[in-house]
Amino acid sequence: MHLKPLVVMILAGIASGSTQAHGGGDNPATVAANAINALGVDILSRGTEATDNALLSPYSIQMAFAMTWAGADGVTRDEMARVLHYPGNDIHDSFAALTADLADIAQRSAEAAAQDKANGDPIVLTTANRLFGQQGYDFRQSFLELLADTYQAPFDPADFVTNADGERIRINAWVEEQTRERIKDLIPGGALNRDTRLVLVNAIYMNAPWNVPFDSTLTQARGFYTGAGQNVDVPTMEHTGSYGYQAHDGFCAVVLPYRGGELQLLILLPDDRDGLASLEKTITPQLLTDAAQTGNKQVRLRMPRLHIEPPSMSLKKAMIGLGMQTAFDIPEESANFDRMAPRRPDDYLAISDAFHKTFLDLDEKGTEAAAATAVAMVQVTNIGRPVDLIEVNVDHPFLFAIQHRASGACLFLGRVVDPRSKS
């Protein structure tokens, strides 16, 4: 059986800089947030090595697969829904609501900054979707309309048949522009060819300064006990102030708001230096959601600067392992994306692979993070009790997430075992 590359679906995201959170409880984005967090926990466990730093964008991955799922049918659709934690057919509206919430955050932040310029730079947070599709190919109009109306993903005609590499360069340039040049050359040479029919792209960019920046004069080299059992000196920031804090059995949760409080960094720190493995077994989507609403305490926080830029990872093995098999045409001739384009016995679509790439830079001013996800499809022919001042020393391996506070959705999710390592 001959496989021809047909569709590449790409998501890219960036986050940078500071905010104060508000809101909570159920909202239209809750369904999407629950699915995002559940898949993030699954992939962190199955798709990364427990002994390495890790960085994912569950939001980015879910957006890619949500739009792919929109074209799935039959068993493939049901199977994908189970793996992606979709409770029903209403998920598209929930993803749209979350995207709208993110846009509103940026607008409110810009308006506040315009009214009070002394308050510092606003949050920059943008999302964009686009379909680069082969001109003249038989895409279903209902699929194109759903993505255009709900995901604001316009259709951009492309000519992969005679200019595949030129289209690859054009798409990469669009991704680079949307992500402020953090994601470059997302689609590698040779990934697209004359049989490619569709490239679906999503980009998210966030630049968020801390609500209260760290004083850089307090940053100094302090010991960090790595996952390998070493005690190494790393640049460590310090701040005493009001942070979200909650002690749990075996770990604590600390929340650092970005400017405006609607986005935040969640740190999950094991009580024991070697407690990361146990903590990862404890983490649930509900815990991530609940931690988004942690109450404030007076905390003296010390945490390392971070720069994480792992190489591109394939999501295929993890997704298949989670049960998404027919989407990858396992067994052969089982993939069904009839809602995307007509499925014929000798000519149908299947996912060939899904790729993900991320970037994070965290310092005294705020956080910058980026992610890119590509889903490629093929045509198949034939702790401790709180006191007045709580000391939290992030000096050993921990988990973290960048969250939309109101829904608890994790835009980014990661693990740090060694702050010196970039991957």
User: Does residue 37 sit in the same domain as residue 164?
Assistant: yes
User: Does residue 116 sit in the same domain as residue 241?
Assistant: no
Query: Residues 395-417: what's their mean pLDDT?
Result: 95
- The closest alpha carbon to 95, from 31, 24, 43, belongs to 31
Q: For residue 1, give both structure tokens.
A: 């059986």
Q: How far is CA 354 from CA 34, 71, 184, 213, 382, in A?
A: 21, 16, 17, 37, 22
Domain that holds residue 281: 216-304+384-416
Least confident segment among 158-167, 208-217, 354-363: 354-363
Q: Is 204 domain-assigned?
A: yes
Query: pLDDT above 90 covers what percent of the chain?
Result: 56
CB 276 within 8 A of CB 52: no
- The closest alpha carbon to 104, from 27, 179, 175, belongs to 27
Name the band, by pLDDT with cuts 50, 70 and 90, for residue 214: very high
C-alpha 267/C-alpha 246 separation (Å) is: 11
CB 395 within 8 A of CB 20: no
Can you give the CATH number for the domain in which 404 is found? Answer: 2.30.39.10
Task: Note the pLDDT of residue 378.
Answer: 53
* DSSP three-state, residue 219: coil
In degrees rounded to 5, what are phi and psi of residue 196? -65, 140
Name the band, by pLDDT with cuts 50, 70 and 90, for residue 24: very low
User: Does residue 127 sit in the same domain as residue 271?
Assistant: no
Name the band, by pLDDT with cuts 50, 70 and 90, for residue 128: confident
- Residue 86 predicted with pLDDT over 90: yes
User: Does residue 362 sit in the same domain as residue 245?
Assistant: no
Name the band, by pLDDT with cuts 50, 70 and 90, for residue 21: very low
Chain Cα centroid distance, residue 396? 24
- Burial of 98 per CB tally in 10 Å (0-12, 13-18, 19+): buried
- pLDDT tens-place string over residues 290-307: 888 888 999 999 999 999
Helix (H) or strand (E) holding 177: helix 160-178
User: Does residue 89 sit in the same domain as residue 184?
Assistant: yes
Name the band, by pLDDT with cuts 50, 70 and 90, for residue 279: very high
Task: Note the pLDDT of residue 193.
Answer: 78
User: Does residue 126 sit in the same domain as residue 195?
Assistant: yes
Q: Is 200 domain-assigned?
A: yes
- pLDDT tens-place string over residues 98-113: 999 999 998 998 888 8
Q: Is 421 domain-assigned?
A: no
User: Does residue 356 sit in the same domain as residue 249?
Assistant: no
Q: Is 267 domain-assigned?
A: yes
User: Does residue 68 sit in the same domain as residue 116?
Assistant: yes
User: Does residue 347 sit in the same domain as residue 331?
Assistant: yes
- Residue 338 predicted with pLDDT over 60: yes
Q: Is 52 domain-assigned?
A: yes
Least confident segment among 103-107, 113-117, 140-144, 321-325: 113-117
C-alpha 393/C-alpha 417 separation (Å) is: 14
CB 204 within 8 A of CB 126: yes
Can you give the CATH number for the domain in which 86 is found? Answer: 3.30.497.10
Task: Note the pLDDT of residue 363.
Answer: 92
Least confident segment among 113-122, 153-162, 223-232, 238-247: 113-122
User: Does residue 199 sit in the same domain as residue 347?
Assistant: yes
User: Does residue 403 sit in the same domain as residue 372?
Assistant: no
User: Does residue 336 sit in the same domain as residue 280?
Assistant: no
Q: Is 123 domain-assigned?
A: yes
Total domains, the chain: 2
- pLDDT tens-place string over residues 178-202: 888 887 777 778 778 787 788 877 7
416: β partners? 398
Name the band, by pLDDT with cuts 50, 70 and 90, for residue 133: confident
Q: Is 235 domain-assigned?
A: yes
Q: Is 422 domain-assigned?
A: no
